[in-house]
Structure 1
Amino acid sequence: MAETLEDLSTMLEHLNSVSQRVSLKLNIQLVSEDESLQPVCVASVDIWILSVVASEGSAEIAQRAMERAMLATGTMKQRVYSSPINSKEELTERVLGVANDIRNDPEMIRRATQQIVLRATIYAQRVNNSILDFVGNTPLIKLNTIPKDHGLTCEIYAKCEFMNPGGSSKDRIALAMVRDAESGNYIHEDTEFVEPTSGNTGIGVAFNAALLDKKCYIVMGEKNSSEKVNTMKILGSEVILTRKSSTEIARQIKDARPDKVVMLDQFENSVNPKIHYNTTGVEIIEALGKVDMLVCGAGTGGTVTGTGNRIKEKCPKCTVIVAEPEGSTMFNVNGKKHPFLVEGIGGSTVPIVLDKSVVDDFEVVTDEESFLMAREVIQKEGLLCGGSSGTAMAAAIKAARRHNLGAGHRIVVVLPDGIRNYMTKFVTNQWMEAHLFMNPPEHSMRWWNHPITNLKLTHVYPIIIDDFTCAEAIEAMKSENVAIVVNGGGWFVGAVSKDYLRHSATNPTKLPDQKSEDFNFNDPVTMHLVKDCYTLAKNGKKGMPTIGRLSRILDITSFVVIGQKEIDEDHFKPESVVTADDVLEYIYLHTDKQSSAGN
């Protein structure tokens, strides 16, 4: 069969260049139902199918290419090819059969030609009117290493949504919601946008607002990465960080000037799942024909709702799996709610746009599993994905095992965003080590593996109750820079530092049309806790921490709170604070000075 395909490839080699010329010609002439153009359409369809078969080089992919062609032109219901191709004659007969199916129906000709024009426009055109032309039509990549390394024989395909121009699947909904608002005449010369978001939709809205030359306000929680915040700022948007409900603050901004401010509202806007139904789902079906399982996370739920419904229309037996972060109760309703580090998916409330009926099952994935898998996808497959992509991939592997998917089964995993948003988080080894997701590197220095209990800490940092004001916290810190904050039971709440209070005073939260106010030192200290405060338990899951691990954590933070885990590790009782000065002093005292001088 290989020789037969090679012969066919030689016979049809010239058709690739002809196909491009015909496609471009059609692109110039545009798609028309004019009968005079039908011979060109028919020829281009034949050439397209044959050139795809010739260029792929395997019977399996040739068969799939014909299925794709028929699906794209509406002929799958008339002719289904499920048996293997065994000869050049049979292959040629089937190819011509597809062409005849298309040739005999003008509507199929028009739809087939649209597919060719679409591909020619995306891949052959050299000049584009806007970067928005590249929203959607993201690559679908077959994974070659990860399935094998995890003992799976099924096929896993990654839908690389991080290759949208703004870096995530949210580019689709942002553009669609803006265009919907434009068509509804909601956007005018003085329009301003406001959007509550965990980051990626904010980037998408900021992206569109910048291209429209409109003012934009993004409201988001403090959990999200600084990379997301800075991306939105460089796009010209004002970012409002809050520990309150971002949706409530966004609505407050909207209600203050209802005729001027547009809130697209991804959580309630039906355009969100609709665009995934019309694009993401279609792209997957066109590429594969048959899908046995779809796996994705759920934030607003737009992706799983729209994509899942579209795929199930074509593949009713497809199983739709949601990747649920451990600590989220959106689907895992009997699970224990607690904070988690993965961004953009999960939660405790079900958004209006989420249709839970399309979801067949869910897989719970821990933060550690998510970030280690994201790193694995990057390292083994070269796909520069984000943390929630790791959640989805880890869920897919679990689901494949649980549902016994084997050879011939196809899983599609949606990778929603990319590495750019997390350079200072899971991409950084020290961050992974700080959260005990990875071990620090091995070194031979004498002090490296010493336990942290060897440190002789001379500084005494104040421990204050969480009902202190900022002014009282400053008084308690005196000559120190940090104070530990606990509740009435002595359990760790967070930490406050003079530097973070300075930061809060310098960068006040300010809503539109409000004046910047002086910092209120009578605010509760809990309103101004250090955002990224690292703790290290002497009895954590990795055992007694070493000074090597502690020193690595201090690469990314100015201090670490040391203490003990209590009550099934749900609570942390702080004991002391360690800074770089403490570790350096220990290193100095435990280094062979003569050996160092000789080197």
Structure 2
Amino acid sequence: MAGVINGKEQKTVQAGKKSALKFISNLNVNFATPDQPPKCTWHKGVDPETTPHRRAEWRTQEKIYSDVTKAVGNTPLVRLNKIAKSYGLECEILAKCEYFNPGGSVKDRIGFRMIEDAEMAGILKPGSTIIEPTSGNTGIGLALGAAVKGYRCIIVMSEKMSNEKVDVLKALGAEIVRTPITADSNSPEGLFGVSHRLKKEIPNSIILDQYSNPGNPLAHYDTTAEEILHQCDGKVDMIVVGTGTGGTITGIGKKFKEVSPSTLIVGADPVGSILAQPEELNQTDSDFYEVEGIGYDFIPTGFDRSVVDHWVKVNDQESLPMARKLIKEEGLLCGGSAGAVVAAAVKAGRDLKKGQRIVVIIPDSIRNYITKFVSDHWMESKGFKQCDNPNNHWWWDQSVANFTLEALITATSSMTCERILHVMKKQGIDQVPIVDKNGGILSMVTMQKILNVLISGNVRPSDSIDKASVTVFPKVYQNATLGLVSRILERENYVLVLEKQNIGQSTIEKPIGIITAVDLLHHISTNTPK
């Protein structure tokens, strides 16, 4: 069979019987970040017939599937009618809706591919346990496969990820191990450290490792890219993909570099991540972002950044409102990372003309984020949406600057957990800011956090308080309203109030008080107009 791509005749490569390579992730052997140089021999201009990997067929002729894994792929391509017009774009934007996969995300493709490759290579057998560090969606794909095939499945994921993902994973029979939001991925308490420890403790277990596993990009090389080429009759001017493990953009990018080299491959990377190039794009004062499933603090082994022609950095203020627009205006029940991808496409597509076409990959569904960006109250508490005052509360629009704050007790990072606990007990407080020598905020420690780490055995009372503190915490500035404070306190136990101060040539954020629900209620009850 042959097809015409951008005016050139191309051979259609049929699925072969070649066996998968016997891939074993280093995480199964050593405690190390999967950021080693890739061993893949692919390069631009390579003959696709020379691949050592098996090829998966993307077409399906079945009317009744033998099990749910056969329903993966062949997702719809949907035109965005209002978004492109509202941003003044002349080109067409088509959304590849990956949330139509049975597990609700693009990661179903790689979950099933990695399981099948491991089975074919003889390293995943009946009675095996699958362990995987993930932001959640790959875990769901693997848990679906494990449920169908009868494997035990353990998912290691950050506490940042939504509770909806956890509930879905548990419903599928997976076991969940959470890691702290602020833990480095390669620390003993981070994603890879915990995964490697579990691998050593559990007999007959394997880490499939989406970060290094060739089945990750291959799933998209063999299926996602082929589907897009088929659906668009080969006419694609630009593809915009969110980047995390890099598998989606690597697989799609490699296929298009072979058959449609004029197609621009654009990577969307959240502000706070380090995946974009050149490195100057990644410079920022913050490494935290709310969008889930994209961005990392290391370069995954399986990510071939050479296939990316252009990078666009996007922040939460662009991504999450755009995801809400996709839901409201286009009817696409998508997740937050879809907003990041479309926001990047709007930027990257400004120079495209009428008749040209962008394809954006919509990674996952609304299901995982009902209590997060889908919630108006959550969006308000994070500052992504104006705080509404539907009940006309007299105090709602008052400034925090006019709120009477209790005297603040602070600590330094040189203090031990034991000493901080003594201070908390003596002062009758549950939260203490950790500050530098100038009084600038470094982190926060709470009674609950100290309790958790001491009970876990990971921290001793004599250890530095740094081991029990967090760098992501609820905060507002003095110009914030009490309405915003109220929204935050619906989800958090406290809010730290900060004041910006100039110290020499730099500006520090100095903590000046803490507001709890009791403090806010006391203010309202004692100041209510007669």
Please report the TM-score for the alignment, with normalisation by the length of structure 2.
0.81
2:358 maps to 1:411: yes
User: Which of 394, 409, 433 does residue 446 from structure 1 map onto?
Assistant: 394
For 2:506 and 2:374, the matched residues in 1 are separated by 26
By how many angstroms is 1:80 displaced?
Answer: 9.4
Match of 2:221, as an amino acid? Answer: Y
CA contact (8 A) 2:474 2:496 kept: yes
Aligned residue in 2 for 1:328? 273
SS at match of 2:166: helix
Q: Which has the larger radius of gyration?
A: 1
By how many angstroms is 1:181 displaced?
Answer: 0.5
Show structure 2 runs of 5+ residues with no match: 10-56
Deviates further, 521-530 or 557-566 = 521-530
For 1:78 and 1:439, the matched residues in 2 are separated by 46
CA RMSD of aligned residues (A): 2.8
Q: For residues 465 and 75 of structure 1, do their structure 2 counterparts lie closer, same or farther at Cα, with a shift above 3 Å needed?
A: closer
Deviates further, 328-337 or 389-398 = 328-337
CA contact (8 A) 2:276 2:313 kept: no
User: Which of 77, 80, 94 does residue 140 from structure 1 map onto?
Assistant: 77
User: Which of 490, 493, 499 does residue 558 from structure 1 map onto?
Assistant: 493
Q: For residues 255 and 446 of structure 1, do their structure 2 counterparts lie closer, same or farther at Cα, with a shift above 3 Å needed?
A: closer
Show structure 1 runs of 5+ residues with no match: 1-72, 82-113, 509-516, 539-543, 594-599
Show the 5 A alignment for 1:390-401: 390-401=339-350
Aligned residue in 1 for 2:28? none
2:226 maps to 1:282: yes
For 2:89 and 2:175, the matched residues in 1 are separated by 46
CA contact (8 A) 1:331 1:362 kept: yes
By how many angstroms is 1:533 displaced?
Answer: 2.2
1:506-554 per-position Cα deviation (integer Å, ceiling 9, x unaligned): 7x4xxxxxxxx5984444433334686200012xxxxx11112211221
Match of 1:251, as an amino acid? Answer: H
CA contact (8 A) 2:418 2:462 kept: yes
User: Which of 196, 199, 215 does residue 251 from structure 1 map onto?
Assistant: 196
1:356-399 per-position Cα deviation (integer Å, ceiling 9, x unaligned): 22111011111211111111111111112112111110000000
Deviates further, 570-579 or 287-296 = 570-579
2:356 maps to 1:425: no
Show the 5 A alignment for 1:123-202: 125=63, 127-202=64-139
User: Which of 522, 530, 533 does residue 473 from structure 2 map onto?
Assistant: 533
CA contact (8 A) 1:218 1:237 kept: yes
For 2:434 and 2:116, the matched residues in 1 are separated by 48
Q: For residues 453 and 158 of structure 1, do their structure 2 counterparts lie closer, same or farther at Cα, with a shift above 3 Å needed?
A: same
1:435-475 per-position Cα deviation (integer Å, ceiling 9, x unaligned): 32221114543322111122223x44531222333332221
Q: For residues 172 and 551 of structure 1, do their structure 2 counterparts lie closer, same or farther at Cα, with a shift above 3 Å needed?
A: same
Q: For residues 155 and 78 of structure 1, do their structure 2 counterparts lie closer, same or farther at Cα, with a shift above 3 Å needed?
A: closer
SS at match of 1:284: helix
Match of 2:395, as an amino acid? Answer: W
For 2:372 and 2:90, the matched residues in 1 are separated by 32
Show the 5 A alignment for 1:168-317: 168-242=105-179, 243=183, 244=187, 245-255=190-200, 260-289=204-233, 290-317=235-262
Match of 1:382, as an amino acid? Answer: G
Match of 1:179, as an amino acid? Answer: E
By how many angstroms is 1:482 displaced?
Answer: 2.1
Q: For residues 247 and 224 of structure 1, do their structure 2 counterparts lie closer, same or farther at Cα, with a shift above 3 Å needed?
A: same
CA contact (8 A) 1:325 1:340 kept: no
2:40 maps to 1:74: no
For 2:506 and 2:89, the matched residues in 1 are separated by 34
SS at match of 1:464: coil
Aligned residue in 1 for 2:30? none
SS at match of 1:373: helix
Aligned residue in 1 for 2:310? 361
CA contact (8 A) 1:291 1:311 kept: no
For 1:582 and 1:141, the matched residues in 2 are separated by 50
Q: For residues 236 and 550 of structure 1, do their structure 2 counterparts lie closer, same or farther at Cα, with a shift above 3 Å needed?
A: same
Q: For residues 395 and 490 of structure 1, do their structure 2 counterparts lie closer, same or farther at Cα, with a shift above 3 Å needed?
A: same
Aligned residue in 2 for 1:584? 521
Please report the TM-score for the alignment, with normalisation by the length of structure 1.
0.72
Aligned residue in 1 for 2:48? none
SS at match of 2:275: coil
Larger proportion of helix: 1
Q: For residues 184 and 80 of structure 1, do their structure 2 counterparts lie closer, same or farther at Cα, with a shift above 3 Å needed?
A: closer
